[in-house]
Amino acid sequence: MNKIKTKLLIPNKLDVEVDGNVAKVEVYPFERGYGITLAHPIRRVLLASTVGYAPVAIKIDGANHEFDSIKGVLEDVATFIINLKNVRFKILEGDEVEVNYTFVGPKEIFGKDLNNDKIEVVTPDEYIATLNEDATLNFSLIIKKGMGFVASENIRDTIPSDYIALDAFFSPIKSATYEIENILVEDETDFEKVVFTIESDGQIAPDDALKDAVNKLFSQFAIFTEKFDVQQNVEFEEKLDDNYKVLTDTIESLNLRSRSYNCLANSDIKYVGELLLMGANDIANIKNLGKKSLDEITEKLESIGFSVNQPLPENVKNLLKKEIENLKEESWDIDTDTES
């Protein structure tokens, strides 16, 4: 029986189970019809807009095009490229790298053989090629960060002329599915549970991919919040993820030299996160802060996993600002009470 309602039930249960690169996520309870309303766009964002890494161009000594052959290598160029596309990479720093390889036969080459100080291969057992005893294989790859699929013809003009452009499959999500189940809420069966099953290739954890997809959807709705003063009547409050909690530590935790510390303190910078919110240019403009101090601050931040040149996600910025404001207010209240 349908009842007269004046507001929607807000989902308040989220169960996450991760096994390797597969996550099962259950969200509930939803009003009838709202399960698919939420699930379908999340699935679409997961598949099309999750950031990953892929080779976009290759250069092989002795090969001029993708239909050529490679002396002493079992695979021709086309097959070699197909095998390389099955290898999944992670760039360790930055959005683009060029990596160079030399292999001497006899040898079977697998994904793990491509690891170096610039990239990590997350599919180490992926087969690539076989070299005979007289073969020497020299090749270079350009690997980039991106989303979705980009055809080689859209890449060709952006790479050096001696490289072969590749179709780029950036998405790290191998599959993303959902099921809608009926559940009981206060003796009523007319409610829904969404069950996501997400599998990644190892470039990103599947639960982190879901979190990223939800953040992207929230960002798309931000324009409505700004223009129409949309209020979110949600009883629970979003909190800063544990990965970012170190940013609410005081700058003393960085163990800076006295000169660097005093420059920050004199500018009323008390918390680590304030430096990430400022960015490299604003830090460099701090009064009396020299290059040596700037380099030290940069190194200290990198040692805890953050870079002044890499902006924080927008939702993290907003949460961090709030937490630091609250910490400063609490600190001010304590100082005031002490003086009294």
pLDDT by residue for the chain (340 residues), tens only, comes to 566 777 788 888 888 889 999 999 999 999 999 999 999 999 999 999 999 999 999 999 988 888 888 889 999 999 999 999 999 999 999 999 999 999 998 999 999 999 999 999 999 999 999 999 989 999 999 999 999 999 999 999 999 999 999 999 999 999 999 999 998 887 777 899 999 999 999 999 999 999 999 999 988 888 887 777 776 655 445 566 677 888 889 989 999 899 889 988 898 899 988 888 888 888 888 888 888 888 899 998 999 988 888 777 776 788 888 888 888 777 655 444 555 4
Delimit the domains of the chain by residue range: 13-50+173-228, 51-169, 242-339
Instruction: Spell out the residues 6+ positions from residue 93 whose beta carbon is closer than 8 angstroms to its own.
Output: 118
13-50+173-228 and 242-339: same fold? no
pTM score of the predicted model: 0.65
Query: Among 317, 280, 324, 320, which residue's Cα sits nearest to residue 299?
Result: 280
Architecture of domain 13-50+173-228: 2-Layer Sandwich (3.30)
CA gyration radius, the chain: 26
pLDDT of amino acid 2: 63
| Other CB atoms within 10 A of residue 156 CB | 15
Domain 51-169 of CATH type 2.170.120.12? yes
Which residues make beta-bridge pairs with 197? Answer: 24, 177
> Any idea of the CA torsion for 250, 254, 255, 257, to the nearest 10 degrees?
-100
CB 5 within 8 A of CB 16: no
Q: CA 118 to CA 94: how far, in whole Å?
A: 9
Q: What is the pLDDT of residue 231?
A: 66
- Alpha-carbon distance of 264 to 286, in angstroms, equals 8
Specify the pLDDT at position 10: 84
Do the bridges between strand 164-165 and strand 51-60 make them parallel or antiparallel, or are there none, so unpaired?
antiparallel
> Alpha-carbon distance 42 to 51, whole Å?
14
- pLDDT for the residue numbered 23: 94
Strand spans (E) along the chain: 13-19, 22-31, 51-60, 89-91, 96-104, 107-110, 119-121, 127-131, 136-147, 149-150, 164-165, 168-169, 173-185, 188-200
CATH class of 242-339: mainly alpha
